Structure 1
Amino acid sequence: MESPVFENKRFDLNEFTGRTIKGVSFLNCDFSRVDLSETQFVDCIFYDRDREVGCSFRSAKLKGASFKRCDLSVCVFNFASALGLEISESKAQGADFSSASFMNVISSKSWFCSAFINKSNLAYANFSKVNLEKCELWDNRWTGANLAGASFAGSDLSGGDFTAIDWHSADFTGCDLTDSELGDLDLRTVNLEGVKVSRDQMSDLAARLGINVLG
């Protein structure tokens, strides 16, 4: 039996809310403003390889939604409400998360973020101006991602690949970076207050400055 395929389709606002969707292909589909709260997508494809286009989740409600083993390459998540969003073991190369919100604002001075993004390929994705503080973001590939104006303060970024990113463009204070590939991180120019790294990582970073760490 062939897997279901939706192509060039605009979905109704509550068509998938709270459902579990498995093994479905969505090619050039429009989820803009759709309520996907608590919806689970498993082994789904949202990338049209022939046309090299993804789906649009612009301004969608993604509170508590999850994507497991999905292909989200070049999908658009601009302005989505994504508190508690989970993306795991998925492809999201070139996906655009700029201006998406992972925050729950309680008052002008009280808020928190929640996201679980792990074991996924985020190469060349756009996270500009996104707040992902104190979130679970481990074992991801961030190669070449746009992190301009983003904040990851206090998040678990362990096991990540940060090759070819601009360390100056985002806030990494208080992050767990253990077992991560740190690319061209320069201790002299990046604020690493509260950051966790392993002894081997520290030795490598110090060696770039001509310092040998013993023991």
Structure 2
Amino acid sequence: MSIEQPKLNRELEERKFSDIYYEEDPQLLNCMVTGSNADNETLEKAVFSKVIFKNVTFIRADFRRIDMTDVIFENCNLSNAVLSEGIINRVQFKDCKLTGVDFSNASFGNVTFEDCHADLCNFTEARFKLLSFSRSSLKSANFFDCNLQKVVFSQCDLNEADFIETNLDGIDISTSTFENVNISMNSLSGCIVSTQQAIEFSRLLGLKIID
């Protein structure tokens, strides 16, 4: 699976997040933002394009209906932020804290989550196309009624994650771990799993396995 990388200019202007308030429309374009604090900020329909955020905190920020294209978040904290109904295209989250982020009804395309803490994230009714979660914690994350196309969960912690009403045909979770996961049995057809996972799912179906 080939995921497009963010397309960034070689030279990016250094800016502060607060600069967004001096724009006619709430947008940040062609820049790098380092070490800013955007906790509890509220911006609806904000636009981030060709931006790198490093060591920025967005705790409890409300950016619903955001439009992000060609963006990198590196070592950022977005815990309990609201990004619902957002458009998120060619975006990377690296070493980020995403605990409790509301991504419900968002549209993702060519997005990667690497080494992230994304426990309790809400992805309800989100749409995913070409997306990779790798080495990330997604404990108790909610993927209820999502549309997943070409999505991989690589070496993730999916314990207590919720995939009810989500079709997992072609979705690879074989290298990820969980003690319990909430999945509709009719959604499992075609899901790519390991042998041990297949045994666990068989037990969920009520089968008794003997050697």
Q: TM-score, normalised by structure 1?
A: 0.76
1:67 aligns with 2:73: yes
The CA deviation at 1:204 is 4.8
Alignment check: 8 A CA contact 1:153 1:171 kept: no
CA distance 1:18–1:185, shift in 2 (3 Å): same
Q: How does 1:136-155 map to 2 (within 5 A)?
A: 136-155=132-151
Letter paired with 2:36: V
Which sections of structure 1, spanning at least 5 residues, go unmatched? 48-53, 103-112
Could you say what secondary structure the match of 1:201 adopts? helix
Alignment check: 8 A CA contact 1:96 1:127 kept: yes
Name the counterpart of 1:94: 100
Q: TM-score, normalised by structure 2?
A: 0.78
* Structure 1 stretches of at least 4 aligned residues deviating more than 4 Å after TM superposition: 4-7, 185-188, 203-208
Could you say what secondary structure the match of 2:112 adopts? strand
Could you say what secondary structure the match of 1:63 adopts? strand
Name the counterpart of 2:10: none
Could you say what secondary structure the match of 2:33 adopts? strand
Q: Distance in 1 between matches of 2:48 and 2:85?
A: 14
Could you say what secondary structure the match of 2:68 adopts? coil
Could you say what secondary structure the match of 2:164 adopts? helix
CA distance 1:160–1:140, shift in 2 (3 Å): same
Name the counterpart of 1:108: none
Letter paired with 2:128: L
Higher mean C-alpha deviation, range 166-175 or range 180-189: 180-189
Could you say what secondary structure the match of 1:162 adopts? coil
1:180 aligns with 2:176: yes
- State the percentage of identical aligned residues: 20
CA distance 1:28–1:189, shift in 2 (3 Å): same
Letter paired with 1:145: A
